[in-house]
Amino acid sequence: MKTALVTGANGLLGTSVVLELLGREYHVKALVRDKKKFIEYTHPNLELVTGDLRDRNSIQRAAMDCHYLVHTAADTSQKHLKLSDYDPVNTLGTKNILDVCREHKIKRLVYIGTANTFGYGTRDNPGNENAPAKAPFTRCLYALSKMKVQEMVDKEAADGLDVVTVSPTFIIGPYDQKPGSGRIICMALNRGIVFYPPGGKNFVHAGDVARGVANALESGTAGEKYLMANENLTYREFFRIVSRLTGNHPVMIPLPRLLLIALGLAGELIRLLGISTELTLNNMKILCVRNYYTNQKVLSRFNMSFLTTEEAVRDALKTGPFRATLKY
């Protein structure tokens, strides 16, 4: 039986990848820092193993007897004050993964990148795998961290390591325990008034990304990058979906760009005092752009179909911390 190690198995995507690979009859080693935080799920081919990306020895132990490795774990915090704050997990952790892949002769590594390392576009001309990253993401510390790690992964691929990169857009779906990206749902959940920024983004179901990861593992081309994207929506359109599913009818009020910029400047002053906050000028600028992408490459390469954003939100609302009452 094929054995795959999945890092970040407690996360939104990691959990979905674990379940997808189990469904494809893999023996899965799910790497977690705390076994108690994994979903209530048992399977004869599932093995929970504890470890930390920053501890190379724990990764070596976890990778014993594995044929494949899927690296979903990452530090995605938007509160860090400097780029080097991402290094322990994103840079050093990924270096440990790459080294262990070589030492254990892992047949294939699937590295989870981010769509923001590619340039976004419009609905009529969306971004793709060949578009270079552009502002404001080229000034986003998290995106810069992922770009740095992507360069490291690409170098290993050029040196002969069998690695495929899967780069999702904004993931929504079940098992978002924290929640992470699902916090955007909370902005419209059971609210009488919903404030929405002028921008938008591409949304994709966690299960679809997991299927894309498994497809890349089994039939992707070594060294290639695959965008996992689906629907391009404005924030207003997304919040309308949340409201419709919960039977809520909030007043929708647009947030002016100038107000968001002012909030961002205030956040920068707070950060100068050494106080961590997600309220940054660059993050506010990101809320003002419509960073749209296409999934044409994976549609043609893997013949995939995708669930709608509405289905992604519905699945998210059924699980994790939301537990919302669905009306539709």
How far is Cα 14 from Cα 19, in angstroms, rounded to an integer?
9
How much of the chain exceeds pLDDT 90, in percent? 88
pLDDT at 327 over 80: no
pLDDT at 324 over 60: no
- The two most distant CA atoms of the chain are separated, in Å, by 57
pLDDT tens, 88-136?
Answer: 999 999 999 999 999 999 999 999 999 999 999 999 999 999 999 999 9
pLDDT at 147 over 70: yes
pLDDT tens, 227-280?
Answer: 999 999 999 999 999 999 988 889 999 999 999 999 999 999 999 999 999 999
pLDDT tens, 273-320?
Answer: 999 999 999 999 999 999 999 999 999 999 999 999 999 999 999 876
pLDDT tens, 198-229?
Answer: 999 999 999 999 999 999 999 999 999 999 99
Tell me how many helices (H) and strands (E) the chain has: 11, 13
Strands (E), the chain: 3-7, 27-32, 46-50, 68-71, 108-112, 163-168, 170-172, 193-196, 200-205, 225-228, 231-234, 251-254, 290-291
pLDDT tens, 171-181?
Answer: 999 998 888 88
How far is Cα 154 from Cα 148, in angstroms, rounded to an integer?
10
Q: Which residue in this structure is represented by tokens 């001309």?
A: 125
Helix 141-158 and helix 93-103: axis angle, to 10°? 20
Is residue 308 helix, strand or coil?
coil
For the entire predicted model, the pTM comes to 0.95
How far is Cα 266 from Cα 279, in angstroms, rounded to an integer?
8
For 174, other C-beta atoms within 10 Å of its C-beta total 23
What are the tokens at 196?
């929405």
CATH fold for the domain made of 3-177+201-232+292-308: Rossmann fold (3.40.50)
